[in-house]
Chains A and B, each alone.
Chain A
Amino acid sequence: AQSVTQLGSHVSVSEGALVLLRCNYSSSVPPYLFWYVQYPNQGLQLLLKYTTGATLVKGINGFEAEFKKSETSFHLTKPSAHMSDAAEYFCAVVTGFQKLVFGTGTRLLVSP
């Protein structure tokens, strides 16, 4: 069964530093992978997704992720963190019939 694992429940960075949030997937078929962001007391918003084609995917707010089949990874990066990036980030994989299976989430903390 398809699943995702997010390494690190919390990641702390300084403003202006590189953001790296890790996601590894397990799938017997080519996966569709998603990153969602959840700001406090809000719903989830799509940051980016990988379906087919280019393995480097650019999303909103300066985020990007690279699909690496050899490493079964889909890590999320941003070159320079802003205070407004502080939120919970979820990696997810579709398992069929549009059933999204989420990772356990990573809370990003940004300090001044």
Chain B
Amino acid sequence: DTAVSQTPKYLVTQMGNDKSIKCEQNLGHDTMYWYKQDSKKFLKIMFSYNNKELIINETVPNRFSPKSPDKAHLNLHINSLELGDSAVYFCASSQALRDQETQYFGPGTRLLVL
């Protein structure tokens, strides 16, 4: 049973295209996140949602639009893809919006923009 799952695992696309990454968690958690890991392995938070409400939007270009249809899902849509968007995108979830909560990560989506 996968706790946090992401689809697709790999995504190769051309500059200028629009793509979506889906995330689902079956842990019953209230809070979900998107992180970006660049080619140097640096991890940075992009967004967080709590009970479908946006909590953190970390100065991400507005080409990136998260959507949370319900507490178990947090999708990431990216418009007009650029070369610099190539990275690994991780979804995560935690039980609640408390600082001491553990965040559980998905396996990542490896995006390559050509």
Contacts and interface: CB of A to CB of B under 8 A. Distances in A.
Contact of A100 (B41, B55, B97, B103): B103
Contacts of B103: 46, 98, 100
Nearest to B98: A98
A45 interface: yes
Given A98-B48, A104-B41, A43 B4 contact: yes
Name the interface size band of chain B.
20 to 34
Contacts of B40: 104
B65 interface: no
A45 to B, nearest CB: 7
Interface of B: 4, 31, 33, 40-45, 48, 55-56, 58, 90, 92, 94, 97-108
9 contacts: A32-B99, A36-B105, A43-B106, A43-B108, A44-B90, A44-B105, A49-B102, A88-B41, A98-B99
